[in-house]
Structure 1
Amino acid sequence: MPADVVDLIMQDHREVERLFDELKQNPDKRPNLLPVLTTLLTAHSRAEEAEVYPVAAAEAGEKEEVSHSQQEHVEADQLLAKLAKTDPTSAEFDKALQNLVDAVTHHVEEEETKVLPGMRSNLSDQRRSELGEAFAASRKQHLGDQPGEMTREELEQQAKNADVSGTSGLTKDQLKQKLQRDAKS
């Protein structure tokens, strides 16, 4: 039987936490680990946004939590993009890393105590397996994507997940800016 989407998401969370620890404890490994973190975190976020969040909102009754989680994804994406552009040997890297760790840790805690339990209790085993397949396929498709680099369709999905209205007439850049402003508020 395919993997449960909740289990897959939590596995990714543990791997991200492991990478954070490695980046903090082994500065000499940062040049090699940073692309791994960036790839995993970006692919994970895009797969959640495309496959998991719409179902969690519509079928598992987690609309408000999904909206909040989506806003946190936008914030984490900005922090990850900043970290990726920071010299791993610089003092600024430690601060940028800690900002990302704090934001992602907060997001993971909320997701694992609110959204994921709601999915586990409100979706059938079969539905979670179907979502697991869709999540894994989407994550694979997004490997190599970089933070902040999204299509208009991905930005529209983020807006829908975050319950942000009035986006249909916006350009891609305007939509991105609106999502970033809403994430900060």
Structure 2
Amino acid sequence: MAGDVVELIMQDHREVERLFDELKNHPEKRPNLVPVLTTLLTAHSRAEEAEVYPAAKDEAGESDEVAHSQEEHVEADKLLEQLAATDPQSPDFDQVLNELVDAVTHHVEEEESKVLPGIRDRLSDDRRLELGEAFAASRAEHLGQQPADTTKDQLLQQARNADVSGVSGMGKDELKEELRKQASDS
């Protein structure tokens, strides 16, 4: 049994914070840690987007918070792609890492103070366990993927989560660009 979805999400948040500390304090580990970070954050984000955000939006009444969180995921994906493409020994790496840390830390703080309490307060224990199973299964399915691996269906789910309309006829690249535009406008 996977456990309560809120606890599973928070465990991932603590692991990401640990990886950030390692990346900041041990530059020699960066070449090995960047793929771990990008894989974990991508799997975590896709599982939230597919399983948790729709329930938080529809069942816990967290529509505005989910839309905002989804926009932050899009921004984090962009920064993760930049980090993965930056030489870990270059001075640019620290700048991109700091931007990513700031963005993800902000996202985690908001999610843990707004979205997750709403899920905890408004969804039953059984429903949170059910979402925990779905989150864990989705997360496992997406392990190994990178931000650039996002499918059109996943982008359409992101658009639904962010309340972005008029995107169903867009191609994948167009959709990705629209989501990034929406995220940067917010």
- Please give the alpha-carbon distance, in whole angstroms, between the structure 2 residues aligned to 1:90 and 1:42: 24
Structure 2-normalised TM-score?
0.98
Residue of structure 2 equivalent to 1:146:
146
Residue of structure 2 equivalent to 1:155:
155
Query: In 1, are the aligned partners of 2:72 and 2:103 still within 8 Å (CA)?
Result: yes
- Please give the alpha-carbon distance, in whole angstroms, between the structure 1 residues aligned to 2:183 and 2:138: 24
CA shift at 1:184, angstroms?
0.2
- Please give the alpha-carbon distance, in whole angstroms, between the structure 1 residues aligned to 2:105 and 2:99: 10
Residue of structure 1 equivalent to 2:85:
85
**Which letter does structure 2 place at the counterpart of 1:32?**
N
- Please give the alpha-carbon distance, in whole angstroms, between the structure 2 residues aligned to 1:72 and 1:178: 14
Where in structure 2 are the equivalents of 1:8-47 lying within 5 Å? 8-47=8-47
Residue of structure 2 equivalent to 1:113:
113
Secondary structure in structure 2 of the residue aligned to 1:144: coil
Runs in 1 of length 4+ with deviation above 2 angstroms?
none
**Which letter does structure 2 place at the counterpart of 1:5?**
V
Residue of structure 2 equivalent to 1:177:
177
Question: Alpha-carbon deviations, 1:106-128, whole Å to 9, x = none?
Answer: 00000000000000000000000
- Please give the alpha-carbon distance, in whole angstroms, between the structure 2 residues aligned to 1:148 and 1:160: 19
CA shift at 1:148, angstroms?
2.5
Residue of structure 1 equivalent to 2:167:
167
CA shift at 1:168, angstroms?
1.2
Identity of counterpart residues, as a percentage?
A: 71
- Please give the alpha-carbon distance, in whole angstroms, between the structure 2 residues aligned to 1:58 and 1:153: 19
Q: CA RMSD in A?
A: 0.7
CA shift at 1:2, angstroms?
3.9
Unmatched runs of 5 consecutive residues or more in structure 2: none
CA shift at 1:36, angstroms?
0.7
- Please give the alpha-carbon distance, in whole angstroms, between the structure 2 residues aligned to 1:3 and 1:94: 36
Moved more, 168-177 or 154-163: 168-177
CA shift at 1:172, angstroms?
1.1
Question: Alpha-carbon deviations, 1:65-89, whole Å to 9, x = none?
Answer: 0000000000000000000000011
- Please give the alpha-carbon distance, in whole angstroms, between the structure 1 residues aligned to 2:12 and 2:40: 8
Structure 1-normalised TM-score?
0.99
CA shift at 1:61, angstroms?
0.5
- Please give the alpha-carbon distance, in whole angstroms, between the structure 2 residues aligned to 1:152 and 1:39: 19
Count residues with an aligned counterpart: 185
- Please give the alpha-carbon distance, in whole angstroms, between the structure 1 residues aligned to 2:150 and 2:45: 12
Query: In 1, are the aligned partners of 2:2 and 2:136 still within 8 Å (CA)?
Result: no
Residue of structure 2 equivalent to 1:132:
132
Moved more, 16-25 or 167-176: 167-176
